[in-house]
């Protein structure tokens, strides 16, 4: 692990295996961290904070930009590690490794634009506001996009003067350790960035409860987010939580059905469905239901599933045997409750996919609002088709009838109608028309309700990593008392 500017073994002296999800073969052993390692990492981050936070913004931004450059130079190796431990198709893995350092570039430049403000008080008093780093930030990330999830948090946290302890996902930590290897080349105060590996039940909980951690930035399930909130409440930590989604995709009767079917199929299978922003519930108007379902099915069948190392592969395996079993459990629950699987729903049996954690692209129809697959996030290549709807008012109520509120899509050629939907849907993002909502660090991302707290990306996301201080200055020297 990378703690205090040094490579160290876990205090336990133990390691645990990392498996290739496409072959089920062990590819590495990583340190099994625990509470003692957390204490060391947090202490190192606390010690580095005065040195790092007092550097000029220009110095910090320059080092963050250098990190982006080094990451791009290592994109091929990082992409290979992503394919090895996560099963990301090779072509996509290399693209992500080369593209996602842009989060550091954006943060480096944007940090320079955060300015204070003066408030009018009186001719005798100056009141101004300034932004300061929060302090020691614990970054706890999920396994679905291992490096992107770290970059989205580390970029702004680091650029703005915070020090960080990164807890990557236990089942795919290799890319995070590679990141630490690259950070080692920078002239950062020792302890500015630390990477500690191990299970969330020990390392993650210890970070969330630690008295010397000032903020937790977390992406993951809503259940884990709630646990972090509870643990963090003991010290009233700052929280940035990007949690789950059960996102409605609404296809109105005037939609471009062909465009909607192809775009939504691509969204559903992105990263083998292991995306919090994937469609979770399809609501299709009764007039276009059959046409949309037919074209969506055709689109789903076109995606090539296979060996992630094959350049033709578009869909790789799920991340682990445990998660594959979880997704299959959701599919079975839908069958048990009366829904119908019309595509997929099984594991592929042809080599090389007879090994690994694969689940075929799946479509389930006849889903009613009370079914488990209608309420909970599946996180796989599984499209859930709700029963057809008749009216705008009906489908808006159905779309909002969920504990999540992350993102959504409304397909219509009538933008005035679409805007009425956008104003009433309870979600952090609504895509209208072709659904080409902006992506990247300059756009805010975050949901309502149990989908999280705060934003990632944009200046709104940058501000999450700062404290706002008010300073009042008496401009008039008080007269000496006689």
Q: Which residues are catalytic?
A: 242, 276
The span from the CA of 323 to the CA of 380, in Å, is 9
The span from the CA of 452 to the CA of 216, in Å, is 13
> Which spans in 173-288 are helix H?
174-183, 205-209, 222-232, 257-269
Spell out the residues 6+ positions from residue 478 whose beta carbon is closer than 8 angstroms to its own: none
Q: Which one, of 147, 159, 14, lies nearest residue 71 by Cα? A: 147
- The encoded tokens of residue 466 equal 């700062």
Backbone angles phi, psi at 93, to 5 degrees: -65, -45
Three-state DSSP class for 253? coil
Rg (CA), the chain: 24
Q: Which one, of 386, 404, 400, 394, lies nearest residue 282 by Cα? A: 386
What single-letter DSSP state applies at residue 482? Answer: -
Indicate if the alpha-carbon torsion angle 254, 255, 257, 261 is positive or negative: negative
CB contact at 8 A, 188 and 107: no
Rounded to the nearest 10 degrees, what angle do helices 289-302 and 257-269 cross at?
40
Backbone angles phi, psi at 225, to 5 degrees: -60, -40
The span from the CA of 376 to the CA of 364, in Å, is 14
- Per-residue DSSP letters for 76-105? HHHHHHHHHHH---HHHHHHHHHHTTHHHH
The span from the CA of 146 to the CA of 142, in Å, is 6
* Alpha carbon 265 to chain centroid, angstroms: 21
Q: Which one, of 374, 295, 383, 362, lies nearest residue 338 by Cα? A: 374
What single-letter DSSP state applies at residue 214? Answer: -
The span from the CA of 174 to the CA of 82, in Å, is 8
- The encoded tokens of residue 362 equal 């799946």
């Amino acid at each position: 692990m990378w703690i205090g500017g040094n490579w160290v073994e876990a205090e336990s002296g133990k390691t645990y295996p990392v498996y290739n999800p496409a072959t089920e073969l062990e590819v590495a052993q990583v340190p099994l961290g625990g509470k003692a390692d957390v204490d060391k990492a947090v202490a190192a981050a606390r010690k580095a904070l005065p040195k790092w936070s007092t550097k000029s913004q220009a110095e910090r931004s320059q080092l963050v930009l250098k990190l982006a450059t080094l990451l791009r130079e290592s994109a091929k190796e990082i992409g290979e590690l992503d394919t090895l431990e996560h099963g990301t198709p090779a072509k996509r893995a290399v693209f992500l490794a080369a593209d996602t350092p842009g989060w550091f570039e954006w943060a480096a430049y944007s940090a320079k634009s955060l300015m204070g403000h003066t408030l009018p008080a009186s001719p005798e008093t100056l009141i101004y506001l300034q932004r300061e780093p929060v302090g020691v930030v614990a970054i706890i990330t999920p396994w679905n996009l291992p490096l992107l999830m770290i970059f989205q948090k580390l970029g702004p946290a680091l650029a703005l003067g915070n020090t960080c302890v990164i807890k990557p996902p236990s089942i795919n930590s290799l890319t995070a350790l590679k990141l630490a290897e690259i950070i080692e080349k920078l002239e950062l105060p020792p302890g500015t960035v630390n990477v500690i590996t191990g299970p969330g039940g020990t390392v993650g909980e210890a970070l969330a409860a630690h008295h010397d951690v000032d903020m937790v930035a977390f992406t993951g399930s809503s259940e884990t987010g709630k646990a972090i909130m509870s643990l963090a409440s003991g010290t009233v930590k700052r929280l940035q939580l990007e949690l789950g989604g059960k996102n409605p995709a609404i296809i109105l009767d005037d939609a471009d059905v062909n465009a909607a079917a192809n775009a939504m199929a691509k969204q559903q299978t992105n990263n083998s469905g292991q995306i919090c922003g994937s469609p979770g519930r399809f609501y299709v108007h009764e007039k276009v239901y059959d046409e949309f379902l037919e074209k969506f099915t055709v689109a789903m069948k076109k995606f090539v599933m296979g060996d992630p190392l094959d350049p033709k592969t578009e869909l790789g395996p799920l991340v682990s045997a445990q998660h594959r079993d979880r997704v299959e459990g959701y599919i079975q629950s839908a069958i048990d409750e009366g829904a119908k699987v019309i595509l997929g729903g099984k594991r592929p049996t042809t080599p090389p996919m007879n090994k690994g954690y694969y689940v075929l692209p799946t479509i389930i129809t006849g889903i009613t609002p009370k079914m488990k697959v209608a309420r909970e996030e599946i996180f796989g290549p599984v499209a859930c088709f709700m029963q057809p709807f008749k009216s705008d008012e009906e489908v808006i109520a159905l779309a909002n009838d969920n504990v999540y509120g992350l993102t959504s899509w409304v397909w219509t050629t009538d933008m005035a109608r679409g805007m009425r939907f956008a104003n009433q849907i309870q979600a952090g993002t609504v895509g209208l028309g072709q659904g080409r909502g902006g992506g990247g660090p300059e756009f805010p991302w975050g949901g309502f309700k149990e989908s999280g707290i705060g934003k990632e990306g944009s200046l709104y996301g940058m501000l999450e990593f700062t404290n706002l201080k008010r300073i009042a200055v008496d401009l008039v020297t008080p007269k000496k008392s006689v």
